[in-house]
Amino acid sequence: MQQSKPRVFSGIQPTGNIHLGNYLGAVKNWVDSQDSYENIFCVVNSHAITIPQDPKILHQKTYDLCAMLLACGINPQKSTLFIQSTIQEHTSLAWLLTCITPMGDLSRMTQFKDKSQKNPKNIFAGLFNYPNLMSADILLYKSNFVPVGEDQKQHIELARDTAMRFNRDFGETFVVPEPLILKEGARIMGLDDPSKKMSKSSSDKPNHSIALIDAPEVIVKKFKKATTDSEGIIAFDKKRAGVYNLLNIYQCFTKESQEAIEAEFFGLGYGKLKERVAEVVVEGLRPIRESYEKLINQKDYLHKILEEGEKCAREIATATYKEAKEKMGLV
């Protein structure tokens, strides 16, 4: 494949329901910048099994998420979309990278610490080694940029270190990737507890996150219950995490400046703020939900796009893996 624009790669796990944090922190940026890059997007199902999953549900959710990414605006004419497990070079390259990554680097990963604390009875080696699979995803495509939310920054730094180490020890092979993290949306917090990142693993808590498939009345109800504070002033003040989070979400959808938003809400109460935020979110997500409801029934179309995506991704993946493997002396 001829590369004329810088290449972006990013991925998302098919666990739980894709939520507003995933959308504003990652997927919306993928969609909005499709014309500027050569784009490769991946549903990273092999990452999902680092935590125990119900196989039937995982299988179904993988396709559902592909449909949702298309509904969000990933355009198959402009972007390659595929499922990670269909290209075995991801796990093969992960092994090569595992063999050059110090244990100490992996044990510093905050996501490993968080996830293993949440699930102390189910800590498997895959979870520990997860960042090497993520490095493989990125390096396999010689990606220049990786658009993600802030929580993935540390993993991309590890991928950079790994790329540099490989290039130093075995000769120039990988592109050293840069994270692309947009300021607004980089870290959307839970509506119930704005000190914690909105996450799929807390989706059992009813008012924690907004799923992209939530009905309008559910979205309104969740925002009404969002945690704020007792100060009653609507301003972008990071110390007041609940109000800041609501304003941040509002800004992501309206694209207005902080000053304009503060002026708009001057003198109004939190009730009005929650109502307006819910309104822009409902309107912003409406076309996505409607498109998803159609796409989810167009199985042939979905499979065709995924097959084409896989073919395109495979061409790059096999070439890079062969190059890396041979440089390490593997026959």
Q: List residues binding ligand TYM (CB under 6 A).
A: 9-13, 21-22, 25-26, 44, 47, 134, 137-138, 146, 148-149, 151-152, 185-188, 197-199
* Nearest CB to ligand TYM, comparing residues 9 and 223: 9
* Nearest CB to ligand TYM, comparing residues 65 and 282: 65
Q: For residue 27, how far is the Cα from the chain centroid?
A: 7
One-letter-per-residue 3-state SS of 200-261: HHHCCCCCCCCECCCCHHHHHHHHHCCCCCCCCCCCCCCCCHHHHHHHHHHHHHHCCCHHHH
Closest-CA residue to 175 (of 149, 152, 141): 141
Query: CA 307 to CA 58: how far, in whole Å?
Result: 19
* Nearest CB to ligand TYM, comparing residues 25 and 284: 25
Segment (H or E) for 9: strand 7-12
Query: CA 23 to CA 249: how far, in whole Å?
Result: 11
Q: Which residue is nearest to ligand TYM (CB)?
A: 25
* Nearest CB to ligand TYM, comparing residues 58 and 264: 58
Question: Which tokens sit at 171?
Answer: 């000769």
**Nearest approach, Cβ of residue 329 and ligand TYM (Å):** 27
Catalytic residue status for 121: no
Q: How long a stretch of residues is the chain?
A: 331
Residues facing 180 on adjacent strands: 147
Catalytic residue status for 255: no
Query: CA 22 to CA 288: how far, in whole Å?
Result: 14
Catalytic residue status for 200: yes
Q: Active site residue: 28, 61, 142, 200, which one?
A: 200
Q: Active site residue: 28, 61, 115, 222, which one?
A: 115
**Nearest approach, Cβ of residue 174 and ligand TYM (Å):** 14
Q: Count the Cβ atoms, other than its own, within 10 Å of residue 317.
A: 23
Closest-CA residue to 101 (of 148, 124, 135): 135
Q: Active site residue: 61, 142, 197, 274, which one?
A: 197
User: Three-state DSSP class for 302?
Assistant: helix
**Nearest approach, Cβ of residue 303 and ligand TYM (Å):** 22
**Nearest approach, Cβ of residue 136 and ligand TYM (Å):** 8
* Nearest CB to ligand TYM, comparing residues 185 and 284: 185
**Nearest approach, Cβ of residue 304 and ligand TYM (Å):** 24
Q: Which amino acid is at 302?
A: L
**Nearest approach, Cβ of residue 232 and ligand TYM (Å):** 26
* Nearest CB to ligand TYM, comparing residues 196 and 304: 196
Match 């991925």 to its residue by tokens: 11
Q: Would you name the residues annotated as active-site residues?
A: 115, 197, 200
